[in-house]
């Protein structure tokens, strides 16, 4: 999916919502456990209910990998089920030496085809480059994450800048605004002004709204650019909004509410 197509979709839906499919077998409604593939049954319900309110699904690979082969089967079925015009992110946080990153890129861009993958920057350029070699896919590199641990290294000061700022500035040179995005946690909204100084034109993937406590208003205020330039993810707040037979309708309501807030922000 090109940047232009993504921006058009955001404008058409008046939404920059990404729904995170962090599907945990211990948290889905009981009645689904009798299904042949409970994880896929749950995801199918969530996708049907939310697809008009979001422009992206972010699939957190850990929740699938923890179930072994059955989990990967659910993953494959889920990406095949997502409507073709919706941006699919494998939230996998992969990254390794070049010949190994090439295998990860193959996994998530060919074998189990997603539009984008999240990648950790610690191993540097040759660990990111193999993902960028796919011309029609996106590499989403961790910048400043939404968790407490972001303070340990990302917010270390190097001369007059934080490590995460060095990461953004350096990694941005390895790709373009057409194939590279960055993860900036919504809990770090105050830093978005700095981020936009370094990356005025890139899309940012913003997790941390909802269960983690980030503010959508602040994210939009400090983070938007001329193309909106944001994908704001909510996972648990949407997918676990309900816990019984009506889980999908409950998820739809929350997703619709996010979309309405986003529409209001985009119209203001």
Over the window 40 to 69, marking each residue x when it contacts a copy of itself by CB under 8 A and - when it does not, the resulting string is: --------------------x-xx-xxxxx
| 114-136 core/surface letters (b: 16 or more CB in 10 A; e: else) | bbbbbbbbeeeeebbbbbbebee
Over the window 75 to 94, marking each residue x when it contacts a copy of itself by CB under 8 A and - when it does not, the resulting string is: -x--------------x-xx
- Compare residues 50 and 146 and give the one whose CB is closer to a copy of itself: 146
DSSP 8-state assignment for residue 101: H
Catalytic position from the list 77, 93, 256, 263? 93
- Compare residues 127 and 139 and give the one whose CB is closer to a copy of itself: 127
Q: Decide: is 240 part of the binding site for a copy of itself (CB under 8 A).
A: no
263 is catalytic: no
**32-40 CB contacts, 8 Å cutoff, 24+ apart:** 37/70, 37/73, 37/74, 37/77, 39/64, 39/67, 39/70, 39/71, 39/74, 39/78, 40/73, 40/74, 40/77, 40/78, 40/81
- Compare residues 75 and 138 and give the one whose CB is closer to a copy of itself: 75
# binding residues, a copy of itself (CB under 8 A): 58
Q: What's the min distance (Å) between Cβ of 104 and a copy of itself?
A: 5
Element (DSSP H or E) covering residue 25: none
- Within 8 A by CB and 6+ apart from 222, the residues are 189, 190, 192, 193, 196
Residue 202 near residue 181, CB atoms below 8 Å: yes
- Compare residues 163 and 253 and give the one whose CB is closer to a copy of itself: 163
Number of other residues whose CB lies within 10 A of the CB of residue 34: 8
Residue choice 4, 31, 106, 197 for contact with a copy of itself (CB under 8 A): 106
Over the window 192 to 221, marking each residue x when it contacts a copy of itself by CB under 8 A and - when it does not, the resulting string is: --------------------x---------
Q: Which of residues 137-196 bind a copy of itself (CB under 8 A)?
A: 142, 145-154, 156-158, 163, 166-167, 170
- Compare residues 53 and 75 and give the one whose CB is closer to a copy of itself: 75
Bridge partners of 228, per DSSP, are 225
Q: Are strands 157-158 and 138-144 parallel, antiparallel or unpaired?
A: unpaired
Any idea of the CA torsion for 265, 154, 104, 212, to the nearest 10 degrees? -40
Binding residues for a copy of itself (CB under 8 A)? 22, 24, 60, 62-63, 65-69, 72-73, 76, 91, 93-101, 103-104, 106-107, 110-112, 120-128, 142, 145-154, 156-158, 163, 166-167, 170, 212
Give the residue numbers annotated as catalytic, written as ranges.
93
């Amino acid at each position: 999916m090109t940047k232009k197509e993504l921006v058009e979709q955001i404008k058409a839906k008046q939404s920059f919502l990404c729904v995170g499919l962090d599907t945990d077998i211990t948290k889905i409604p009981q009645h689904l456990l009798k299904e042949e593939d409970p994880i896929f049954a749950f995801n199918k319900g969530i996708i049907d209910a939310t697809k008009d309110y979001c422009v992206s699904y972010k699939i957190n690979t850990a929740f699938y990998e923890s179930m072994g082969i059955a989990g990967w089967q659910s993953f494959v079925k889920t990406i095949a089920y997502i409507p073709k015009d919706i941006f699919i992110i494998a939230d996998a946080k992969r990254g390794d030496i070049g010949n190994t990153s090439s295998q990860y890129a193959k996994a998530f861009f060919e074998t189990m085809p997603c539009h984008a993958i999240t990648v950790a920057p610690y191993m540097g350029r040759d660990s990111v480059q193999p993902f960028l070699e796919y011309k029609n896919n996106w590499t989403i590199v961790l910048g400043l994450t939404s968790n407490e641990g972001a303070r340990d290294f990302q917010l270390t000061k190097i001369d007059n800048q934080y490590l995460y700022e060095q990461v953004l500035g350096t990694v941005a040179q390895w790709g373009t605004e057409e194939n590279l995005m960055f993860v900036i946690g919504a809990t770090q909204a105050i830093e978005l002004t700095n981020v936009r100084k370094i990356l005025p034109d890139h899309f940012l993937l913003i997790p941390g709204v909802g269960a983690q406590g980030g503010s959508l208003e602040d994210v939009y205020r400090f983070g938007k650019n001329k193309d909106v330039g944001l994908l704001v993810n909510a996972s648990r707040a949407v997918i676990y909004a309900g816990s019984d037979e009506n889980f999908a309708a409950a998820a739809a309501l929350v997703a619709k509410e996010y979309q309405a807030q986003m529409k209001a922000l985009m119209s203001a």
